[in-house]
Amino acid sequence: MQSAYRPIRIGLLGAGSVGSQVARLLLENQAELAKRVGAELKLTGIAVRNLNSKRDAELPAELFTTDAESVILGSDIVIELVGGIEPAKTWVMQALNAGADVVTANKALIAAHGPELFELADQLGAQLYFEAAVAGAIPIIRPLRESLAGDRIDRVMGIVNGTTNFILDRMESTGADFDEALAEATALGYAEADPTADIEGYDAASKAAILASLAFHSEVAVEKVHREGITSVTAMQIETARQAGYAVKLLAICERVSDGGLVARVHPTLIPLEHPLAAVRGAYNAVFVEAQSAGRMMFYGAGAGGPETASAVLGDLVSAAKRHLAGGPGLADSTHANLEALPVQFVNTRFQITLEVSDKAGVLAKIASIFADHGVSVETVQQSTASNSAALLTIMTHMASERDLEAVVIALKEDDSVVSVASVIRVEGL
């Protein structure tokens, strides 16, 4: 049955690994998508920086142009897949001002300028869709934004960067050190030539800001997210953790705290091997949600990749196209709670501290007293030999505040019986 509605014009900005797959799927599945939407989705133009760049898919040459403005102004829906802040922000604003809905996978843009863009879209009666901005193909934005809108979410915890999960997984499964695992990730295409955004936690922090904003109906700037990368994680740490029944994962954790605000943080974390997140291998992502009424849920799948991320983009595109046909306002962004994003010092959690100490009588009692003096309760202590004159202590605490633990670490570093504080890592999921 032929739709009476004219074709919905789709403009694409960017034709990299994701953009080229979006274009391919749009062209290949045009008839099926038309049935789902109720009107033809017509790809009218693809704006790129270089017309001669190699693409991941064979696409009609006549669709390509370097004139992004013409693509934007000639579209009902604009798909932004160029990444970064500029020119992406300018183009998205131009599209919204021109009356188009926008679909984006740009996590950096949404994390940095989401509130501004959502406000503009709301004023203009347009929609801004961003399912692909977090965790690739995994549907997590829509459940937080819509399905769980009537519930109270207390915590979101997840693996949201495939590169770092691959590296940590390889270190665990093969015993490789960080540099070896990073080299393998680079060779396989999981890590960029400059992996800083991944391994230093910047990518995960952007996604944490988005998740926290949605889960807690509050504006959370990416600068408010506590961030630590994985460059200091050693093969010995990972092996020691496994022997103790834990896996090391780079987690994004967003949670309500007792002080009435929220804390968003990204850092290497010990998580029990029996926890579902511990079983997430390779470059896969998973997000674990704790809601007051719905309970615990986990969303798992491919967190990156051209076809995988394209799937999320096309899901948003179908939603945008259906809204375009139906008319009326779309789903507004909700920041009504206005919870304050607090520093990581407001968090209470467990810690594992590894110390190299002088191997002599009375040291263990002295170390224990330092913890006690600062209100941190010790759960377990494991001792092993580091050298002829030094011992290695692995200490697991009960729940403690970040403030108190920081004070403990300062005191330990000042004590003459402590050779070094080898590592401090948080423990979650117990």
What does the H/E/C string look like for the chain? CCCCCCCEEEEEECCCHHHHHHHHHHHHCHHHHHHHHCCCEEEEEEECCCCCCCCCCCCCHHHEECCHHHHHHCCCEEEECCCCCCCHHHHHHHHHHCCCEEEECCHHHHHHHHHHHHHHHHHHCCCEECHHHCCCCCCCHHHHHHHCCCCCEEEEEEECCHHHHHHHHHHHHHCCCHHHHHHHHHHCCCCCCCCHHHHCCHHHHHHHHHHHHHHHCCCCCHHHCEECCCCCCCHHHHHHHHHCCEEEEEEEEEEECCCCCEEEEEEEEEEECCCHHHHCCCCEEEEEEEECCCEEEEEEEECCCHHHHHHHHHHHHHHHHHHHHHCCCCCCCCCCCCCCECCHHHCEEEEEEEEEEECCCCHHHHHHHHHHHCCCCEEEEEEEECCCCEEEEEEEECCEEHHHHHHHHHHHHHCCCEEEEEEEEEECCC
Catalytic residue status for 54: no
Output the CA torsion 372→252→228→177 (10° steps). Answer: 100
Determine how many CB atoms are found less than 10 A away from the CB of residue 362.
9
Active-site option among 42, 54, 89, 207:
207
Output b/e per residue, 201-223; b: 16+ Cβ within 10 A: bbbbbbbbbbbbbbbbbbbbebe
Look up tokens 């989705």; give the residue: 41
- Pairing status of strand 64-65 against strand 77-80: unpaired
Active-site positions read 207
